[in-house]
Structure 1
Amino acid sequence: MKRLLLTAFAVCCMAGAAQAQSCNLQATDKKLAGAAKASFLTKCEKDAGAACDKQAADRKLAGAAKNSFTKKCVSDAVGG
């Protein structure tokens, strides 16, 4: 069971890294800069937050565990 949880967490972290590349690459591909880029990345962070909340719910996390997971997931997703 512990191995399954660790594997699931590793997959989540890899998905977050892929999302970070995706957001930054999309902004670059769209040739966004300044306020437009900031707005795009803010929306990306919001979308990542929703995705991370869903992942936390799927893992049945609550309280501090959910908050910690979501914070790290969003941070990984937006590259921060």
Structure 2
Amino acid sequence: MKKLLSLLAIAGLALSFTAQAADAPAAGAAAPAKAPTAQQSRMKTCNADAGNKNLKGDERKAFMKECLSADKQAKQQDKMKSCNAEAGSKNLKGDARKAFMKECLSNKPAG
């Protein structure tokens, strides 16, 4: 009985080592690293800022939400300024200006 238990233990260890070796990538076949997306970069920056400020719990959540949305707000404000300036340079008034602004602001930003 002791021999059977010993054999089962050894077999279990052998299988676990084999499974780990199969999960590990081959030494020369490392996958190329992907560049982080813009969202991942913002997340990393905001996370570091929250860590530097020692924020925890709800304060950290609120800070992260504000930090991650700040970039969107800045882009929208820049878009509004450029569309407004363009409408002004075209001397648009009334309904023509409203239609132009709606079209300009709904267009996706280049890039």
With normalisation by structure 1, the TM-score equals 0.52
SS in structure 1 at match of 2:41: coil
Distance 2:40 2:78 in 1: 18
Q: How many equivalent pairs are there?
A: 53
Deviation at 1:29, TM superposition (A): 7.4
Deviation at 1:43, TM superposition (A): 1.3
Over the matched positions of the two proteins, sequence identity in percent amounts to 19
What are structure 2's unaligned runs of at least 5 residues? 1-36, 44-63
1:14-67 Cα deviation digits (max 9, x unpaired): xxxxxxxxxxxxx81771246333221111101110110110011111111111
Counterpart pick for 1:41 among 63, 72, 84? 72
With normalisation by structure 2, the TM-score equals 0.39
CA separation of 1:29/1:38 partners in 2, compared to 1, >3 Å: closer, same or farther? closer
What's the counterpart of residue 74 of structure 1?
105
8 Å Cα contact 1:52-1:73 kept in structure 2? yes
Deviation at 1:76, TM superposition (A): 1.0
What are structure 1's unaligned runs of at least 5 residues? 1-26
8 Å Cα contact 1:52-1:70 kept in structure 2? yes
Deviating 4+ runs (over 4 angstroms): none
What's the counterpart of residue 23 of structure 1?
none
CA separation of 1:60/1:30 partners in 2, compared to 1, >3 Å: closer, same or farther? farther
Q: In structure 2, give the amino acid aligned to 1:40.
A: D
Q: Point out the structure with max Rg over C-alpha.
A: 2
CA separation of 1:37/1:78 partners in 2, compared to 1, >3 Å: closer, same or farther? farther
Deviation at 1:74, TM superposition (A): 1.5
CA separation of 1:60/1:52 partners in 2, compared to 1, >3 Å: closer, same or farther? same
Return the structure number with greater relative CO, CA threshold 8 A, min gap 6: 1
CA separation of 1:68/1:29 partners in 2, compared to 1, >3 Å: closer, same or farther? same
8 Å Cα contact 1:53-1:70 kept in structure 2? yes
